[in-house]
A = this chain, B = another copy of it.
Amino acid sequence: MKNIQVTLAKRPNGKPKASDFKIVKSKMYKPGEREALVKNLFVSLDAGFRNWMDEGSGDNVLPAMPIGQPVMGLILGQIIESNNAEIPKGATVMARLAWEEYSLLTPNDWWVEIEDDGSVPLSYHLGVLGDTGMSAYFGLTDIGKPEPGETVLISAAGGAVGSVAGQIAKLMGARTIGFAGNDEKCKRLVDVLGYDATINYNSESLDREMAAACPAGVDVYFDNVGGPLLETVLDHINEGARIPFCGAVADYGAQSESWGPSNLFQIVTKWATLQGFMTHTKLDRYPEARAQLKEWLASGQLVAHEQMYEGVEQCGVAFADLFAGNNFGKAVVHVQD
């Protein structure tokens, strides 16, 4: 029995390309003491893993990925063999493993067991019920707190976090405005995700588009990417504005460019709040958030948007798409049933 892996062929220069990765056939793992064998079902594509592809990029979360080794990522899988009593055979786990059909789970790897009650597709645990959905939920309920009728502006509005945040803000009664990088995506934000208006952030008259889309100003700016758009938005915030500034563990350090808004003093004059948060600080409240999200999913008030790729071989393509802006909703690779 063989394993299929996608390895790091060379270190990406800037945005990753599919050719930075290589599909290889390799020997099947044989779990040793306290190890388990995972049949990977889904791979989550998260921009933050790009960080560990650089030379010398290791930190307390992961070491720098070695060339020629399978690319690290977040996966959903099933334990099919186990020498570790804490991870019984048959368990469904989310783990920080690799782009491959089967992975070895060692005691050093990060993992959590997933309670698969069959009420939602399993892959949702990587998206709407995972860190990206949690970012959307807590960013709005704990920080943004939009009042009905207020204007909520969302960056990367069609992405994994934004596609959920836009819908939640709408459920909370807000007027929702989404940023996207081209007119076609903007149209999808309205047609598919129900945004009230959109702004093409590549527009040459960005400030004018902002004013047109947010005539009453911005009460909440949900910034889930970081970056220079904040400067433009700060010129349009209302007094008392809230800016949830969100990251998930998987996106840690995703902000690699140097930038700084020259008008940060707007935070004072508009007595606004820029509040950062990392989803892992809210782990104890995931059950509460998941219960609410599942309720909205069940009633159809919330729709989970996934961009699904078929076969582990597609991991490199899917990852490159993420950086090329070719994604809508949560990008996931379906490895096998």
Contact = CB atoms under 8 A, between A and B. Distances in A.
Interface of A: 226, 230-231, 239, 245-247, 252-253, 255, 258-278, 281
A278 B277 CA distance: 24
B274 A274 contact: yes
A231 B260 contact: yes
A304 to B, nearest CB: 24
Closest 9 CB pairs of A and B: A260-B260, A267-B276, A255-B265, A268-B276, A258-B262, A247-B268, A274-B274, A273-B275, A271-B277
Nearest to A264: B260
Contacts of A267: 245, 274-276
In the assembly, how many copies of this chain are there? 2
Given A271-B281, A274-B273, A261 B264 contact: yes
A252 B265 CA distance: 10
A247 B259 CA distance: 24
Contacts of A276: 266-273
B226 A265 contact: yes
Given A239-B281, A246-B268, A260-B262, 9 more contacts: A226-B265, A230-B264, A258-B263, A267-B276, A271-B275, A271-B278, A271-B281, A274-B274, A275-B275
13 contacts: A230-B264, A245-B267, A245-B268, A247-B269, A253-B265, A253-B269, A259-B264, A260-B263, A260-B264, A267-B274, A272-B276, A273-B273, A274-B275
Contacts of A277: 268, 271
A246 B258 CA distance: 25
A13 B202 CA distance: 38
Contacts of A230: 264
A276 B253 CA distance: 25
Contacts of A272: 275-276
Contacts of A262: 258-260
A291 B272 CA distance: 27
Nearest to A272: B276
Nearest to A143: B273
A264 B226 CA distance: 8
A275 B277 CA distance: 14
Nearest to A242: B275
A263 B245 CA distance: 13
A246 B226 CA distance: 23
Contacts of A258: 262-263
